[in-house]
Amino acid sequence: MSQSEPPTPARFLTPRYWPTWAGLGLLRLSVLLPFPVMLWSGRQLGKLLYILIGSRRHVALTNLRLCFPDLSQKERQKLARESFISAAISLFEGVLSWWGRDSRLKKLYRIEGLEHLESARRAGNGVILLGGHYTTLEISGRFLAYHVEGLQPIYKPAKNPLFELVMANARKRLFDDLVPSRDMRRIVRNLKRNKVIWYAPDQDFGRKQSVFAPFFGVPTATLTTTARLARLSGAPVVPYYSERLPGKEGYRVKLLPALEGFPCGDDLVDATRTNQVLERQVERMPEQYLWLHKRFKTRPKGEKGVY
């Protein structure tokens, strides 16, 4: 909140926030739709956004050109279009995860590999769940919360204060805690209390606390935070991913065995390893990754920008 804004909820009634209210209202109503209709609506919205938002279409196509140079231009365009569709579906999945009934959601997914999380947690140092910005990220959190006591997502607060308020309140009802990514002391403290921290480090936050590790062969500003948290807390790192299954099959959430010998103490080696974990799932479901983000915005010194 800026100093110019009144420190009361009344500020959200000003015209500035009317579009946000309208969007949230429509999304809230979408929870009433049957699941297949929600998926269909997301697909139609994604097709429209692919046409309308040229700047993000350019970002997605650039990312795909860098990561999949062997694909033809036509193949990359198809994949970019599918990524827009997947991102649009995630909007509907997000509100379903916030406001959907348990009786409905528990029928939509299966989870595999919980034994790996339980084994890692027995050491008593907490667990770091290593995920990525898959478009199923939001709804998979609701699924994980059914099985994982003490689950605490790390997140970056939204710039829109009204959306941030609604999102944070919805998530706080689901999780043990919701921790801003900048609050490192709190994250380490909670790990030492044997909590499960859910972390997705695959966004570009600049050079600070980053090294240039390869992601699909491209030098990428990669946060060293995963290794640093593991080193400070002694928490094992358990990779996990989620995916949207074909048709009406719902979702799959899978947890893998904890990374052995991680961290090794070399920031570049550790960052490369976390990127490789994410690459494997992106290769499985490339259309379900968030290609709309400027993953390669920060370049090594002397290298031109790619966007």
Nearest to 174 by CA among 102, 118, 237: 102
pLDDT of residue 7: 47
Is this model's pTM higher than 0.95 or not? no
Which residues partner with 252 through β-bridges? 110, 243
The one-letter code for the residue type at 73 is Q
pLDDT of residue 10: 78
pLDDT of residue 8: 58
Angle between the N-to-C axes of helices 161-174 and 137-145, in degrees from 0 to 180, rounded to the nearest 10: 30
**The length of the chain, given as a count of residues:** 307
Residues of the chain under the 70 pLDDT cut: 1-9
pLDDT of residue 202: 95
Q: Which residues of 204-220 are buried (b: 16+ CB within 10 A; e: fewer)?
A: bbeeeebbbbebbebeb
pLDDT of residue 113: 98
Q: Which helix (H) or strand (E) holds 211?
A: strand 210-215
pLDDT of residue 1: 42
Q: Are 241 and 112 in contact (CB under 8 A)?
A: no
pLDDT of residue 6: 44
